[in-house]
Amino acid sequence: MLLGCTASSVLGQTQAEDQWWAPGSGLPMPAAARYPNPYGELGILNTAGDYPTEGHAFFEPIGSNGRACVTCHQPASAMGLSTALIQQRWRASNGNDPLFAAIDGRNCPHLPANDPEAHSLLLERGLIRIFLPWPPRDPGGNAIEPEFTIEVVRDPTGCNTHPEYGLESTEPTISVYRRPRMAANLKYVTAADFGVTPFSIKDSRPASRDPETGRLVNMNMLADAREPTLRTQAISAALTHLETGGAPSDAQLAEIIDFEMQIYAAQAQHVGAGNLEEPGGPPALGPHAMLEGETGVLGNNTTRYVFPMGDAWTSLERSGDAEADAQNEFRESVQRGHDVFFFRTFWISDSMHINNIGLGNPIKRTCSTCHGMHMTGMDTANGFVDVGSTNLPWATENEQNPWTEKKPEMPLFRLSCDNAHAPHPFFGRVIYSQDPGRALITGRCNDIGSIVMQQFRGIASRAPYLTNGSAKNLRELIDFYDRRYNIRYSEQEKIDLENFLSTL
């Protein structure tokens, strides 16, 4: 039987007016909180208990534009930022909230304030402008000679060709647009006790290290892995997104990092499955499971599951009570979706940092092959791969649909790999990309379009999906991978997989 929940069928108002956490509000953060989302309720667990935020560096506007860290890492959006919450904030503030600051909340700083079109990528896709120097710089600030040239083919935001902000400016800069990443469950994201070697398993180059301790890090912090630690990330974010004019103090950085490490987020209640934390239920579900889960575990589909479900929701009995039977039917669908994630094989092909590292091209695997980090579904180490979310021909954008009247929203770059290096193994020497990803940091041809995957937890609160926000909901996310790898999921498999993901 087909059984599924959609955003339109479960909660009419998915983001309440009081869900926005404004910088400087001074409200205490409770030890546990629930926030509604399209599939039920998100749970936020704060292990420090009721927590004061007045004067706290994560919650106070320490820069010049009125933002704080919490601006883009909202508890209601699983410490990320959903378009539903962004749009609600636009309406409530008439576009004047610090979230919409010119530096990166507009498509480009030169565009007019309070104009929805000037903020369209943030409002419609949840994207923040990321501006990076070109050519790239090494950790010491020295220019890296890239293996490719980059040309602007399409510039709908006007930023990459702008005389002050673009590639031809006095400080050449490339603007790409990405989703904020989730600032919760970070004990997994920052774990360096597994899968970390002196050389990246993806490209055989030296792995990143903590600049203060020299310890290896797992390079899963940002979409392009440019920041090795929470400390360097906080400094970079303060200087750019908060416009602080200088690095936060050591005391402020310690406050930010300590807070980020004490927050856990996961779906806690589901309109179809009920209480996800009830005794005897699947051990992977709920925010308390995230607190108790182990780091240093590479999940698999044989002995140690990425998301351990057990057999609590397998072959449930029917009592004749319509409501209870419907819940059990939905729970069985979630269990089947789990099995699709772990056991439904398909051919993975032409994916950089997957098919070129000795595994073969193509390889027959499952979702859990790449999404293997225990409890989160991230990669275990050096997580940047190119699954086609930003590179043509797979990236979702209107150049593939010339019959549509909607204009393209994303920039498009033409990258030409030089003859001094081997061509890209799957694309050759000329690659078209909306976001070159890791290549903007390394300058390497083989890194074009490689992006570090995000975690799955709290995903029901964080739509849209993929780094460029091109999948508006979970079904579109599943459909993207179904097209990309020609998986040919059945309709039931898609429904079951969506139901499973929505409980995480």
Indicate the SS3 state at residue 432: strand
pLDDT band at 102; cut points 50, 70, 90 = very high
pLDDT digit string, tens, across residues 276-296:
999 999 999 999 999 999 887
Look at residue 248 and tell me if it is in a domain: yes
Of 186, 185, 190, 380, residue with least CA distance to 290? 185
Cβ neighbour number for residue 307 with a 10 Å cutoff = 26
Residue 191 is assigned to a structural domain of this protein: yes
pLDDT at 405: 60
The predicted model gives 41-56 an average pLDDT of: 95
The candidate with the shortest Cα–Cα distance to 89, out of 256, 58, 101, 43, is: 101
pLDDT of residue 6: 41
Number of domains observed in the structure of the chain: 1
Residue 466 burial by Cβ neighbours in a 10 Å radius (0-12, 13-18, 19+): buried
* Preceding omega of 61 cis (within 30 degrees of 0): no
Q: Locate tokens 């360097």: which residue?
A: 232
pLDDT score at 201: 78
Say what the pLDDT of residue 297 is.
Answer: 80
Which tens digits make up the pLDDT trace of 316-363?
999 999 999 999 999 999 999 999 999 999 999 999 999 998 889 999
pLDDT at 14 over 50: no
* Conformation bin of residue 343: beta by default, left when phi > 0, alpha when psi is -120 to 50: alpha
Instruction: Report if residue 105 sits inside a domain.
Output: yes
- DSSP-assigned letter for residue 7: H
The model's confidence at residue 266, banded by pLDDT at 50, 70 and 90, is: very high
Taking CA atoms, 198 is separated from 204, 206, 350, in Å, by 9, 6, 26
pLDDT of 432 strictly over 50: yes
Which residues constitute the domain of residue 37?
26-135+174-264
pLDDT band with cut points at 50, 70 and 90 for residue 195: low
Residue 187 in this model has a pLDDT that exceeds 70 = yes
Chain-wide mean pLDDT for the chain?
A: 92
In order, the DSSP letters of 83-140 are HHHHHHHHHHHTT-SGGG-TTTTSSSTTSPTT-GGGGHHHHHH-PEEEEEESS-B-TT
pLDDT at 375: 94
Q: Please report whether residue 46 resides in a domain.
A: yes
Q: Among residues 119, 114, 23, which one has the least CA distance to residue 67?
A: 23
DSSP 295: S
Grade residue 232 by pLDDT with cuts at 50, 70 and 90.
Answer: very high
In a domain, 117, yes or no: yes
Strand partners, 206: 199
Residue 133 β-bridge partners: 173
- Closest by Cα among 395, 430, 412 to 155: 412
Would residue 389 count as lying in a domain? no
State mean pLDDT over 419-429. Answer: 94
Each residue of 366-405: pLDDT tens digit? 999 889 899 999 987 777 999 999 999 998 765 544 545 6
Mean pLDDT of 192-208: 78
Residue-wise pLDDT tens digits, 120-168: 999 999 999 999 999 999 988 999 999 999 999 999 999 999 999 999 9
Asked whether residue 78 is domain-assigned, the answer is yes
Q: Is residue 437 situated within a structural domain?
A: no
Interval 110-128: pLDDT, tens: 999 999 999 999 999 999 9
pLDDT tens digits along 58-92: 999 999 999 999 999 999 999 999 999 999 999 99
Distance CA 341, CA 459 (A): 15
